[in-house]
Amino acid sequence: MTQTSVKKEGLSSQEMYDLLMEQIEPDLTSANIQSLDEKYADESAEDRRARLESYTIAFEIFKEALDDLEAEVQGDAEMLEWHIAMKDQLLAQVSDDFDADDATKAIDDFSTNS
């Protein structure tokens, strides 16, 4: 699922965490994290250290992905605000320029020319 589709889905924070983390390090999803001690009970101290280092990197990658997503959402919000401001400005301009007599004349002209 892309970042854009994550935004549109309206996911909870846990669902968003799991969705992103599943792609980075499945061990760290909320469904798996509670069973890590059992899953890796027989690993050596060296393997455990390496695994924990990889988890640290996974969380850094997760933070970057979340920051990117936040920036994209913020950019979308700013774009939406700009579009709304432009729409309001255009509507104000149209209403300033629009006159009921002009509309009546345009309808009359259309009717006579049809």
The reported pLDDT for the residue numbered 2 is 46
For residues 74 and 29, the model is more confident at 29
- Total-model pTM: 0.59
Tens-place pLDDT, residues 20-69: 999 999 999 999 999 999 999 999 999 999 999 999 999 999 999 988 88
The reported pLDDT for the residue numbered 19 is 92
Contact present, 28 and 59 (Cβ < 8 Å): yes
Q: Quick one: residue 10, left, alpha or beta (phi over 0 = left, psi -120 to 50 = alpha)?
A: left
Q: Quick one: what percent of the chain has pLDDT higher than 70?
A: 68
Contact present, 28 and 58 (Cβ < 8 Å): yes
The reported pLDDT for the residue numbered 103 is 59
